[in-house]
Amino acid sequence: SQQGEEDPQALSIQEGENATMNCSYKTSINNLQWYRQNSGRGLVHLILIRSNEREKHSGRLRVTLDTSKKSSSLLITASRAADTASYFCAPGAGSYQLTFGKGTKLSVIP
Amino acid sequence: DADVTQTPRNRITKTGKRIMLECSQTKGHDRMYWYRQDPGLGLRLIYYSFDVKDINKGEISDGYSVSRQAQAKFSLSLESAIPNQTALYFCATSERGDTQYFGPGTRLTVL
Protein backbone atom coordinates (compact mmCIF):
# COMPACT_ATOMS: atom_id res chain seq x y z
CA SER A 1 0.00 0.00 0.00
CA GLN A 2 1.09 3.58 -0.39
CA GLN A 3 0.22 6.75 1.37
CA GLY A 4 -1.33 9.75 -0.26
CA GLU A 5 -0.23 13.19 0.77
CA GLU A 6 -2.93 15.81 1.03
CA ASP A 7 -2.34 19.47 0.41
CA PRO A 8 -2.96 21.97 1.89
CA GLN A 9 -2.89 20.77 5.47
CA ALA A 10 -5.52 23.32 6.39
CA LEU A 11 -8.00 25.40 4.41
CA SER A 12 -10.40 28.04 5.61
CA ILE A 13 -13.12 29.44 3.34
CA GLN A 14 -16.40 31.29 3.53
CA GLU A 15 -19.68 29.46 3.12
CA GLY A 16 -20.68 29.38 -0.52
CA GLU A 17 -17.13 29.35 -1.84
CA ASN A 18 -15.52 26.38 -3.52
CA ALA A 19 -12.89 24.30 -1.75
CA THR A 20 -10.13 22.47 -3.56
CA MET A 21 -7.75 20.02 -1.99
CA ASN A 22 -5.08 17.93 -3.60
CA CYS A 23 -3.54 14.53 -3.19
CA SER A 24 -0.23 13.24 -4.50
CA TYR A 25 1.03 9.68 -4.48
CA LYS A 26 4.16 7.90 -5.60
CA THR A 27 3.45 4.66 -7.46
CA SER A 28 0.90 3.25 -9.90
CA ILE A 29 -2.63 2.82 -8.65
CA ASN A 30 -5.82 1.02 -9.59
CA ASN A 31 -8.06 3.57 -7.95
CA LEU A 32 -8.08 6.44 -5.51
CA GLN A 33 -10.64 7.14 -2.83
CA TRP A 34 -11.54 10.21 -0.84
CA TYR A 35 -12.91 10.06 2.69
CA ARG A 36 -14.28 12.67 5.07
CA GLN A 37 -13.88 12.69 8.83
CA ASN A 38 -15.95 14.93 11.05
CA SER A 39 -14.23 15.81 14.28
CA GLY A 40 -13.55 12.69 16.35
CA ARG A 41 -15.77 10.47 14.24
CA GLY A 42 -15.23 7.62 11.82
CA LEU A 43 -14.22 8.18 8.23
CA VAL A 44 -16.97 8.27 5.65
CA HIS A 45 -16.33 7.20 2.09
CA LEU A 46 -17.05 9.99 -0.41
CA ILE A 47 -16.01 8.84 -3.83
CA LEU A 48 -13.80 6.35 -5.67
CA ILE A 49 -12.18 7.11 -9.01
CA ARG A 50 -10.55 4.36 -11.05
CA SER A 51 -7.25 4.74 -12.82
CA ASN A 52 -8.90 4.79 -16.25
CA GLU A 53 -11.19 7.66 -15.24
CA ARG A 54 -10.19 11.31 -15.39
CA GLU A 55 -13.09 12.94 -13.64
CA LYS A 56 -15.99 11.89 -11.50
CA HIS A 57 -18.89 13.75 -9.92
CA SER A 58 -21.05 13.06 -6.92
CA GLY A 59 -23.44 15.81 -5.90
CA ARG A 60 -21.32 18.85 -5.04
CA LEU A 61 -18.12 16.85 -5.24
CA ARG A 62 -15.87 16.69 -8.26
CA VAL A 63 -12.78 14.50 -8.28
CA THR A 64 -10.10 14.53 -10.92
CA LEU A 65 -7.27 12.09 -11.41
CA ASP A 66 -4.10 12.66 -13.37
CA THR A 67 -2.14 9.43 -13.39
CA SER A 68 0.72 10.98 -15.36
CA LYS A 69 1.27 13.47 -12.53
CA LYS A 70 0.26 10.99 -9.84
CA SER A 71 -2.17 13.44 -8.38
CA SER A 72 -5.83 13.89 -7.65
CA SER A 73 -7.96 16.80 -6.59
CA LEU A 74 -11.23 17.05 -4.72
CA LEU A 75 -13.44 20.06 -5.39
CA ILE A 76 -16.38 20.85 -3.14
CA THR A 77 -18.63 23.43 -4.74
CA ALA A 78 -20.86 25.87 -2.89
CA SER A 79 -19.46 24.82 0.47
CA ARG A 80 -21.60 24.68 3.59
CA ALA A 81 -20.72 24.84 7.26
CA ALA A 82 -21.52 21.13 7.44
CA ASP A 83 -18.60 20.45 5.07
CA THR A 84 -16.23 21.40 7.88
CA ALA A 85 -14.17 18.24 8.35
CA SER A 86 -10.86 16.60 7.53
CA TYR A 87 -10.52 15.05 4.11
CA PHE A 88 -8.26 12.11 3.35
CA CYS A 89 -7.22 10.50 0.10
CA ALA A 90 -6.35 6.82 -0.14
CA PRO A 91 -4.54 5.58 -3.25
CA GLY A 92 -5.35 1.94 -3.96
CA ALA A 93 -2.99 -0.42 -5.77
CA GLY A 94 -5.19 -3.48 -5.63
CA SER A 95 -4.04 -4.53 -2.20
CA TYR A 96 -6.15 -4.93 0.89
CA GLN A 97 -4.69 -1.97 2.69
CA LEU A 98 -5.61 1.65 2.55
CA THR A 99 -3.02 4.04 3.90
CA PHE A 100 -4.23 7.43 4.97
CA GLY A 101 -2.16 10.59 5.14
CA LYS A 102 -2.61 13.45 7.57
CA GLY A 103 -5.50 14.91 5.62
CA THR A 104 -6.67 18.40 4.76
CA LYS A 105 -8.57 20.13 7.52
CA LEU A 106 -11.32 22.21 5.95
CA SER A 107 -13.09 24.95 7.89
CA VAL A 108 -16.14 26.53 6.30
CA ILE A 109 -17.06 29.78 8.00
CA PRO A 110 -20.77 30.63 8.05
CA ASP B 1 -29.03 0.74 13.23
CA ALA B 2 -25.40 1.47 12.37
CA ASP B 3 -23.68 -1.00 10.08
CA VAL B 4 -20.41 -0.97 12.07
CA THR B 5 -20.56 -0.56 15.82
CA GLN B 6 -17.80 -0.26 18.35
CA THR B 7 -17.88 -0.69 22.10
CA PRO B 8 -17.04 1.00 24.31
CA ARG B 9 -17.12 4.49 22.78
CA ASN B 10 -14.93 5.92 25.49
CA ARG B 11 -12.62 4.22 27.96
CA ILE B 12 -10.19 5.45 30.57
CA THR B 13 -7.84 2.90 32.02
CA LYS B 14 -4.56 2.64 33.89
CA THR B 15 -1.12 1.57 32.78
CA GLY B 16 -0.72 -2.20 32.82
CA LYS B 17 -4.40 -3.06 32.51
CA ARG B 18 -5.70 -5.37 29.79
CA ILE B 19 -8.30 -3.75 27.59
CA MET B 20 -10.56 -5.17 24.90
CA LEU B 21 -12.26 -3.10 22.23
CA GLU B 22 -15.04 -4.74 20.30
CA CYS B 23 -16.35 -4.28 16.78
CA SER B 24 -19.47 -5.72 15.21
CA GLN B 25 -20.78 -5.32 11.67
CA THR B 26 -24.01 -6.13 9.91
CA LYS B 27 -22.76 -5.52 6.40
CA GLY B 28 -21.84 -9.14 5.78
CA HIS B 29 -18.29 -8.23 4.79
CA ASP B 30 -15.48 -10.70 5.14
CA ARG B 31 -12.72 -8.16 5.65
CA MET B 32 -12.27 -6.25 8.88
CA TYR B 33 -9.60 -3.83 10.06
CA TRP B 34 -8.40 -2.05 13.17
CA TYR B 35 -6.77 1.39 12.95
CA ARG B 36 -5.53 3.92 15.43
CA GLN B 37 -5.49 7.65 14.96
CA ASP B 38 -3.36 10.07 16.91
CA PRO B 39 -4.08 13.81 16.99
CA GLY B 40 -3.17 15.54 13.74
CA LEU B 41 -2.14 12.30 12.10
CA GLY B 42 -3.69 9.90 9.66
CA LEU B 43 -4.89 6.43 10.48
CA ARG B 44 -2.41 3.63 10.98
CA LEU B 45 -3.34 0.01 10.46
CA ILE B 46 -2.94 -2.28 13.48
CA TYR B 47 -4.40 -5.60 12.30
CA TYR B 48 -6.61 -6.84 9.52
CA SER B 49 -8.57 -10.00 8.84
CA PHE B 50 -9.79 -11.37 5.52
CA ASP B 51 -11.99 -14.00 7.13
CA VAL B 52 -12.43 -15.81 10.41
CA LYS B 53 -9.32 -17.93 9.92
CA ASP B 54 -7.10 -15.20 8.50
CA ILE B 55 -5.44 -12.62 10.76
CA ASN B 56 -2.61 -10.37 9.67
CA LYS B 57 -0.41 -7.78 11.31
CA GLY B 58 -0.52 -4.24 10.08
CA GLU B 59 1.90 -1.38 10.39
CA ILE B 60 1.85 -1.07 14.19
CA SER B 61 0.81 -4.39 15.76
CA ASP B 62 3.26 -4.44 18.69
CA GLY B 63 1.42 -4.34 22.00
CA TYR B 64 -1.88 -5.36 20.42
CA SER B 65 -3.65 -8.63 19.65
CA VAL B 66 -6.91 -9.43 17.90
CA SER B 67 -9.55 -12.10 17.77
CA ARG B 68 -12.02 -12.76 14.97
CA GLN B 69 -14.79 -14.55 16.81
CA ALA B 70 -17.15 -14.66 13.84
CA GLN B 71 -17.55 -13.04 10.47
CA ALA B 72 -19.32 -10.15 12.13
CA LYS B 73 -17.05 -9.66 15.16
CA PHE B 74 -13.46 -8.50 15.43
CA SER B 75 -11.99 -7.49 18.76
CA LEU B 76 -8.77 -5.69 19.59
CA SER B 77 -6.91 -6.24 22.85
CA LEU B 78 -4.22 -4.24 24.53
CA GLU B 79 -2.43 -6.82 26.64
CA SER B 80 -0.82 -4.33 29.00
CA ALA B 81 -1.89 -0.80 28.22
CA ILE B 82 0.67 2.01 28.21
CA PRO B 83 0.14 5.78 27.96
CA ASN B 84 1.36 6.06 24.36
CA GLN B 85 -1.54 3.81 23.33
CA THR B 86 -3.86 6.69 24.15
CA ALA B 87 -5.59 7.29 20.82
CA LEU B 88 -8.77 7.06 18.83
CA TYR B 89 -9.36 3.50 17.59
CA PHE B 90 -11.43 2.67 14.53
CA CYS B 91 -12.77 -0.56 13.18
CA ALA B 92 -13.58 -0.83 9.48
CA THR B 93 -14.97 -3.40 7.08
CA SER B 94 -14.79 -3.93 3.36
CA GLU B 95 -16.09 -6.36 0.82
CA ARG B 96 -13.15 -6.71 -1.54
CA GLY B 97 -10.57 -4.25 -0.29
CA ASP B 98 -11.80 -1.10 -2.00
CA THR B 99 -14.28 1.01 -0.10
CA GLN B 100 -14.01 0.70 3.65
CA TYR B 101 -16.83 1.40 6.09
CA PHE B 102 -15.79 2.76 9.46
CA GLY B 103 -17.25 2.50 12.90
CA PRO B 104 -17.74 5.56 15.11
CA GLY B 105 -14.49 5.02 16.99
CA THR B 106 -13.39 4.31 20.55
CA ARG B 107 -11.56 7.02 22.43
CA LEU B 108 -9.06 5.31 24.72
CA THR B 109 -7.09 7.08 27.41
CA VAL B 110 -4.35 5.26 29.29
CA LEU B 111 -3.25 6.99 32.48
Contacts of A50 in chain B (CB under 8 A): none
Question: Per the CB < 8 Å rule, is A102 touching B98?
Answer: no
Dihedral sign for Cα B57, B61, B63, B64, please. negative
| A33: nearest CB among B45, B99, B103 | B99
Asked if residues B44 and B59 have their Cβ atoms less than 8 Å apart, the reply is: yes
Q: Which of B45, B28, B41 is nearest to B91 (CA)?
A: B45
The reported pLDDT for the residue numbered B96 is 74
The reported pLDDT for the residue numbered A1 is 58
Q: Does pLDDT of B76 surpass 70?
A: yes
The reported pLDDT for the residue numbered B1 is 54
Asked if residues B4 and B101 have their Cβ atoms less than 8 Å apart, the reply is: yes
Task: With a cut of 50, list the residues of chain A below it in pLDDT.
Answer: none
Amino acid, single-letter form, for residue B98 = D
The reported pLDDT for the residue numbered A96 is 66
| Peptide bond connecting A8 to the previous residue in cis, omega within 30 degrees of 0 | yes
Q: Does pLDDT of B59 surpass 90?
A: no
CA distance B105 to B87: 10
pLDDT in tens, B83-94: 999 999 999 999
